[in-house]
Chain A
Amino acid sequence: MRERRLTALVILCATVAATLLISTQLISAQNGVGQEGKKGDRDEPPPFYNPYPPGILPSDLTQEIERVRREVRSIENEALAQWQALTPPTLTGQPPTLANTGMKANQLLGKLMNFDEHMSPFENRACGFCHMPYAGFSGPIPSVNLTMIAYPGSFQFRAGKRTAQRYTYSPNFPVLNFNAAQGAFFGGNFWDSRATGYLLGSPDAEQAQHPPVDTQEHALPDTACIAFRLQTAAYRPLFEQVWGAGSLDIKFPHNTEEICETPGGAAVFGTNTMPIRLSPEDRIKANNVFDHWGESLDQYEASPDVSAFSSKFDAFLADPGDNPLSLDEMAGYNLFRGKANCNSCHLDGRSTAPTPPTGTAPNGEDTGAAANARPLFTCFGSSNLGLPLNPRDAFFYQTTPDFFGFTANPYGFGYRDLGLGQFLRSGFGSAPSPNSDWTPQAPTNDGLMQTSTARNVAMTPSKCPTTEAPGPYFQKEFFHNGYIKSLKQLVHFYNTRDVYPFDVTSGHCPSGTIEKVTCWPKPEVPNNMDMTIGKLGLSDAEENQIVAFLQTLTDGFTTPYPDINSYTGQCQTGGSAATQGNESLILTPALPPCPSAVCGVSPFPNPPIQ
């Protein structure tokens, strides 16, 4: 009798548990906008992954995701029309060349790929989702830029760990190299330079290969899924025109859609990175298609559609008489290359002739000639600026397995972003380094992040013409972890990091101070901190002049910037640039020690990172 009662109780509990589990999944599924299963055998969309405490995901996230997706599809349709209007190139000559419109065809192919949502398991994420034209091809959602900083991937709400870098001028970065004369690394793409260009000769092309198979971004589980989805793309004829007839003739097994609609990292795949079973010949073809994917995207990003060299500063360089900078802009430029020393890393391409030995830094003599008529405002190098840890970074919260059994960050707040150093070790959160000769350099590169071009740092949608409060403005995010929310703050950080340093984490500035104004929390990674900056001695007005100069580096002054008007969201208003976003600061929790899987990989950080 007792045994029967126990059995009945067990059955009852199991039934309740199963009902709860199913109903939870259904409720979640009903919320699953943009995560719908369209093909294959998937009956119900998987439940959202939401390990986040209340307030970490912005409240308008679902609407904003759908808003950007509409914009992405609109630009994709525009690109399809541009392709239809293009006079086809003629294959001729030796070596055979797509004469006349071949370059345009390849760039358009890249654009079509960039805004193609099908290149993700749930067919809801294009590259453009995180890289929209009106933000200089960086993050398009103001509330995400304000809070979680990393963008939600195809399987919502997995998210990466860093801000979306701007595409503009990324094709100009050289193949990652260690320059023995300078004793430093130059080139590569990504904040940690992990797209080296070692195979394709273009870091930018290799950069374009990472997000489609990044578990927290597009999350395709196999690079061959790109070729599989291209087989049914509307623009397949253009791909075959550019890369050759038959290039997409690959015999995929019957379960390919089922595989490609399952996000990477799923437990079902184990450690298999090539779950689609292809013949050796077809695998080579799929690999070639994957390379061409990167190469065409690179050509799009290098084209005037993206890297336009059409800023006010370009016009000024070409003809200062006809296109003068305003007094504030000119003062900002002189500070940029003088007292503030910004051009020691953000090279402005001006003459670097030796100055008279009696000169001082702000008065250093400029011979007036442009050494580089198209300066890129980067040295292609990397540095650790000492940014505080941003406790809103979505990565810190993804500590539990999702529906597919994947955990992005089992270390939670123990994780530290070591940037280039971690890549040189092939460490957690980066990618395998293709050159073990570089590995011993890891400790002197811990915490280093790529020096972005300053070009287009201020680009915003036309309808929200500035990044700065009170606006109307478009909320952007700056640096690798989005801690900085306005250009005023950015310049103030360079100017006063070492004037107002406090041994606290973000959210814990002492009373009487204002975070980001008179209090800078301690750096996330204290090793190798760059000391070119930190105490520049700029006045408040001088900071503003540098901001005014940075705004002259936005493309679209001499010719309209393509798709700049595609933003359909709202502008932000109110407040001041100095404290912009401070209302969203949260308390950083007590940080656990950095785990050995992150900070204990040989060659070890020196000094050790706590």
Chain B
Amino acid sequence: MNKLLLKLAIAAATGSLLSSNPTVAQLSPTTPKAARVRITQGPELELAKEYLTIIRWTTNNPGGSPEHFGVVHYGTDPKNLSQTAKSPIRLNPSHSSTIFRVRLQALKPATTYYYTVDSMESNGKSDGVISPVKKFTTP
């Protein structure tokens, strides 16, 4: 019991020391990465216009750096997804899920594209998301 109190006191003191620095307190924390980042919804087409396509999916919160990228690997050959689109988003550490959305521009009209999705921290470290190959056709 006493040990527990001591631990709590140390934790409280550490917390107050950290929060005394306004800069530290103001930045979003880098949170522990999820054991396994899994897609809970999607990926799916959010928008398909002549000049803009948006792919969207939801995962459990991957943690790590709040600065993240949604990544879409795509192409017209399902066996050769040679093109990549990335869009930045900010994780909200206090939210338990994260919605990733990626913009694809300058696509050919009336063309079927195949794609898979992933996400990564802004330093390039992948979240290890695995998604099936899906497809969509541009207007």
Contacts and interface: CB of A to CB of B under 8 A. Distances in A.
Interface of A: 172, 174, 179-184, 186, 337, 341, 343-345, 347, 349-361, 364-366, 371-372, 374-376, 378-381, 383, 498, 501, 503, 522, 526, 528-532, 534-535
A529 B87 CA distance: 6
Given A358-B96, A361-B97, A498 B46 contact: yes
Q: Range of interface residues on chain B?
A: 35 or more
What are the nearest 4 A-B pairs in CB distance?
A: A183-B122, A344-B92, A359-B96, A531-B87
Given A172-B22, A355-B94, A355-B95, A184 B101 contact: no
B50 A503 contact: yes
Interface string B52-63: 101000001000
A349 B25 contact: yes
Given A182-B65, A371-B25, A530-B88, 18 more contacts: A172-B22, A181-B30, A182-B67, A347-B27, A347-B28, A349-B25, A355-B94, A355-B95, A359-B97, A366-B94, A372-B22, A374-B22, A381-B90, A383-B88, A503-B50, A530-B87, A531-B103, A534-B54
Interface of B: 19, 22-23, 25-31, 46-47, 49-52, 54, 60, 65-67, 70, 87-97, 99-103, 105, 121-124
A182 B66 contact: yes
Contacts of A358: 96
B71 to A, nearest CB: 12
Nearest to A357: B96
B129 to A, nearest CB: 16
A522 B51 CA distance: 10
A446 to B, nearest CB: 12
A183 B94 contact: no
A379 B22 contact: no
Contact of B47 (A374, A378, A380, A501): A501
Nearest to A183: B122
Contact of A337 (B46, B94, B100, B105): B94
A184 B121 CA distance: 10
B103 A535 contact: no
Given A349-B25, A372-B19, A503-B51, A341 B46 contact: no
Given A503-B51, A503-B52, A355 B103 contact: no
A522 B50 CA distance: 13
A364 B96 contact: yes
Nearest to B60: A357
B96 A184 contact: no
B127 to A, nearest CB: 13
Contacts, number: 135
A540 B19 CA distance: 37
Contacts of A529: 87-88, 103
A379 B103 contact: no
A169 to B, nearest CB: 10
Interface centre among B91, B94, B100 (most CB of A within 10 A): B94
Given A181-B65, A535-B101, A372 B94 contact: no
Contacts of B70: 531
Contacts of B50: 503
A450 B25 CA distance: 19
A355 B96 contact: yes
Contacts of B31: 352, 354
A347 B26 contact: yes
Nearest to B40: A360
A353 B100 CA distance: 22
A172 B22 CA distance: 8
Nearest to A384: B88
A361 B92 contact: yes
B122 A379 contact: no
A343 B25 CA distance: 14
Contact of B23 (A174, A354, A361, A531): A174
A526 B105 contact: yes
Given A184-B67, A344-B66, A344-B92, A376 B26 contact: yes
A501 B49 contact: yes
B122 A341 contact: no
Given A371-B25, A535-B101, A345 B94 contact: no
25 contacts: A172-B26, A174-B23, A181-B123, A182-B122, A184-B122, A337-B94, A341-B95, A345-B90, A347-B27, A352-B94, A353-B94, A359-B95, A361-B96, A361-B97, A364-B92, A364-B95, A364-B96, A372-B25, A379-B27, A379-B28, A380-B26, A501-B47, A503-B51, A529-B87, A531-B87
A350 B22 CA distance: 14
B22 A351 contact: no
A358 B61 CA distance: 11
Contact of A183 (B49, B67, B87): B67
A365 B92 CA distance: 12
Nearest to A377: B26
Given A344-B90, A532-B89, A352 B101 contact: no
B27 A531 contact: no
